[in-house]
Structures are given as C-alpha cells and as structure tokens.
Amino acid sequence: GEPTLDGMAWLAESHPDDYQAIRWLRENVKGAPVILEAPGGSYTFFGRVSAHTGLPTLLGWGGHELQGRGTYEEPARREPAIETLYTSLNAEETLRLLEEYGIEYVYIGALEVERYGLTKPQFDKWDSIMELVYQQGGVRIYCRGGGVEGG
C-alpha cells in the first residue's frame, strides 16, 4: 500500500482483527487498567495493544526495559509470570498472578495463541474466571472487574 506514518492505518490493513479489538478498547475502556498481552522482541509486532491504546501492560519489549533500567531483573521476573498466566490451567494460580500484577484485562490474539500454543483448555480457564467482553475474528478480551469502563 501507500506509505504512511499512521500506525493504526497500517494495523487496519495488516492485522484487521487486532485493529478492530484495539479500536474497541480505545472506545470502551476508561482510565488506565492493566492489560495482559504477550511480550516479544524489540521492533516486533509485540506490544501492539499497549502501544495503540496507552494502556499499561506487564512487559512489552524486554530489551527496551534493559536499556532503560540497565538491568534485566524485572523483565526476567515478569516473563515467566506472563507465560504462566497464559498457559497454566490452574485457576487459583492465575487469579493470584492477576491480583499480584493488578491485571484487569487479558488480551488473546493470534500472537498470544502462537507464542504460547494456546488451546481449548486455556480458553476454558479464562471463560471460568473472567468475563469475555470482546470476541471478534481471532481476538478475545477478558475482563476481571466485571465489564468495561476501566475494569
């Protein structure tokens, strides 16, 4: 397509499911509740939700955290917690981590499914402990706080 500096225009063309979900988040979530999304390497598509919504997330690009903090200690602590959140079938462990990190929303799109190999049992876990507030295409968004408007 035509070159653009508009990241949302690029997102709409290249990742329409994420684009629609991010638009929904921007229109419906108020305040700055923490949203969980999969972290990834620098200059990749990971961190797309927090980057396009302004919502805080546990970890976007760990390498950038290393550059800013001068240590990888915090990202190294969060990466396994994020993996556990997405992959564990233990609802109690998941709820404990959601509480520990103050996570109100969980984003599951194609990147999360691919990175963590998510299957029906993981989706069933989320369905049992959180409210599904958005589902379109390949994206699901869960809320812990009982709906939109900031959790």
Rg of the chain, C-alpha, whole Å: 15
Lowest mean pLDDT among 13-17, 58-62, 112-116: 58-62
Residue 66 pLDDT level (bands cut at 50, 70, 90): low
Report the distance separating Cα 132 and Cα 118, nearest Å. 16
Mean pLDDT of 15-26: 97
Q: Tens digits of per-residue pLDDT, 78-129? A: 899 999 999 999 999 999 999 999 999 999 999 999 999 999 999 999 999 9
pTM, rounded to two decimals: 0.88
Residue 31: name the closest of 12, 65, 55, 60 by CA: 55
Burial class (CB in 10 A: 0-12, 13-18, 19+), 65: buried
